[in-house]
Amino acid sequence: MQNKRGQLTVFVILAIIIVAAVGLYFLLRGTLTSVSIPASLQPTYTSFLSCLEDDTNTGVGLLESQAGYIYLPSVELGSHYYPFNSQLDFLGTSVPYWYYVSGNRIQKEQVPTKSAMEKQLERFINERIRACSFQAYYGQGVVVSMEEPYSDVTINDDSIDVNLAMDMTLEKGNDTVRVQNHDKTVVSNLGTLYDSALRVYDSEQKNLFLENHSIDVLRLYAPVDGVEISCSPKIWSADKVFDDLQVALEQNTIVLGSNLGKGYYNIDVSIDGEVRFLNDKRWPSTFEVAPSEDNLLMASPVGNQPGLGVLGFCYVPYHFVYNARYPVLVQVQKGEETFQFPMAVVVEGNKPRQPLNSSATEIGVPELCRYKNTELEIHTFDSNLAPVEADVLYRCFSEICNIGKTQNGVLKGMFPQCVNGYVVAKADGYEEGNLLHSTTSEIGVVNVFLEKTHDLNVDLRLDGQAYNGNAIITFVKGDGSTNTVVYPEQKNVELSSGQYAVQVYVYKNSSLKFPETTKTECVQVPAGGIGGFFGLTAEKCIDIRIPSQIISSVLAGGGKQDYYILESELTSSDVVRINAESLPLPTSLEQLQNNFILFDDKKLDIRFE
């Protein structure tokens, strides 16, 4: 036992000596491997170390400005609905997204690790270091030769250690020196900035504070839910709503940050430095709203229809559902250095997207669209059989699958199987083309024709005289598609040939006032006591108070007309002139209701000029 204890003691002592020797080696490595540089070659070698520092700083600048990348990953293009290419163009610099949604609606991450950043910086130094210029010393008789470089980079919180293994020989006259290892420590906050950026990113993925902030902005600056007292429809231009929303998002995003103190705009993330969030309405983004018709959001009044006079007032309820997808650039700053990376912000159906799990998951891809196993060849033409480049979709009941885009009017694509689905083709300047087609056969050729649309000016006249007051003009085509003109703010309409039902509602200002009224409503309720047990009922009446109101806009003219628009009329005309007849200006609720009855018998005079 004593011999075994003695052997164990020897092994412990040897282990301690080995560990101490290794530690001493790393502690004194610079001293042990240091080479004495002759005075005549010292300026040249100092210039080389300065070049090594400059290359390191250049690489660090690229890492900080390009989201932790020097060598950018391959570009993945987005789509019309998800416009996020895998890289954001920021002032001419391509910055890879840390989170984005691909064109086929797959959530993706490309967050570099600190180790990956070190490897990219090592590669960058290896590729550039032998390009250091010694022109100022060649004239002094200095000869410089460099072998293959191998660098090792360590990113610390406030510095970067570079150890470059490269045989370098310097000669001048009788002085010669060979240096194999070159060490340089560069002051930089890259490590701290990266850690802070990662904490901001993790907080967004966990809490979705950018999406929740976007929903707040949406409800403040766009019509979402509400009820207004009015007897005329409420109309919003979708383009105007989206423009206002983009400006509001841009202005409300830039005030977010962790350095603004406590409050609504403060982001509760602990970082070493300051954080900024940027959005620009010129960056790729998409905004959608439903229900809408021809870029218009419309809410119809309740209470002015015939038979609803019992209400005693009119009101306009509305509910709109939005999808918003846009980028936000996050900048973390400490001192003079800034690390930046972009993220996609996705709001679907007035709600934030689902937080990203550790693996990529699909967002909202219909189950049907995941199984495309039938090949079809799609041809898209106009009415003159000329090919049209169009986006092709397939609609099966309530689900819509994006198939692709025709090239020179032709697309070969895979479709999901469906009975009595519709092949849909969309192109700018053309009406949407729909063709009923079942995709249960193995292969097929489908020809879809798109009607060209023509932009015409609308000239509205009332009783033969030019009218510039408020009116709503609708062109309802035989297939159910509707073009609506909010007059006079909008005086253009896009039409194609076909059968239309044209309707004009002319509104004029009014100060029609309805006093407060009370009406009694009676209902049958179960009788009390033993009578209720045998199913007997009793009448219970309650009084309903209707507050007074002023109707500021009333129906004062218009009519309906069925009209078949010829292609020749569209190609040879610039204006569609519509003449409507006036109605008596109502001074009571009964007269207002009577105008809606008279409206059904009024006709329109429609001419193309």
Contact (Cβ atoms closer than 8 angstroms) between residue 322 and residue 248: no
CA angle 101, 87, 162 (to 5 degrees): 125
Q: Residue 456's beta-bridge partner residues?
A: 493
Contact (Cβ atoms closer than 8 angstroms) between residue 118 and residue 188: no
Look-up: residue for tokens 């997204």?
Answer: 97
For residue 364, how many other CB atoms are within 10 A of its CB? Answer: 13
Amino acid at site 90: F
Amino acid at site 389: E
CA angle 7, 11, 16 (to 5 degrees): 150
For residue 232, how many other CB atoms are within 10 A of its CB? Answer: 21
Question: What's the confidence (pLDDT) of residue 149?
Answer: 92
CA 131 vs. chain centroid, Å, equals: 43
DSSP E strand stretches across 450-516: 454-462, 465-466, 470-477, 482-487, 492-495, 498-514
For residue 165, how many other CB atoms are within 10 A of its CB? Answer: 13
Q: By C-alpha distance, which of 436, 452, 558 is closest to 498?
A: 452
Residues contacting 374, CB < 8 A, separation 6+ = 414, 415, 416, 417, 439, 440, 441, 442, 443
- Helix, strand, coil distribution of the chain in percent, nearest 5: 25, 45, 35
Question: What's the confidence (pLDDT) of residue 7?
Answer: 57
Task: State the virtual CA torsion across 9, 10, 12, 13 in degrees, nearest 10.
Answer: 120
Distance CA 257, CA 333 (A): 11
Distance CA 280, CA 403 (A): 30
Question: What's the confidence (pLDDT) of residue 545?
Answer: 58
Q: By C-alpha distance, which of 483, 458, 563, 459 is closest to 298?
A: 483
For residue 426, how many other CB atoms are within 10 A of its CB? Answer: 16
Supply 219's token pair.
């409800």
Q: Which helix (H) or strand (E) holds 118?
A: helix 114-128
Burial class (CB in 10 A: 0-12, 13-18, 19+), 59: buried
Question: What's the confidence (pLDDT) of residue 166?
Answer: 92
Mean pLDDT by 10 residues, the chain (609 residues): 56 68 51 69 92 94 94 83 85 91 84 93 93 87 91 94 93 90 94 93 90 92 84 82 92 76 72 90 89 80 54 73 93 93 93 66 57 88 90 82 90 88 89 86 82 91 90 84 81 89 87 67 60 61 62 82 91 92 82 81 91
Distance CA 552, CA 510 (A): 5
Amino acid at site 352: P
Question: What's the confidence (pLDDT) of residue 563?
Answer: 93
Residues contacting 496, CB < 8 A, separation 6+ = 430, 431, 451, 452, 453, 454, 477, 565, 570
Contact (Cβ atoms closer than 8 angstroms) between residue 69 and residue 112: yes
Distance CA 299, CA 575 (A): 28
Contact (Cβ atoms closer than 8 angstroms) between residue 394 and residue 418: yes
Question: What's the confidence (pLDDT) of residue 516?
Answer: 67
Label residues 139-157 b or e (16+ Cβ within 10 Å = b): eeebebebeebebebebee
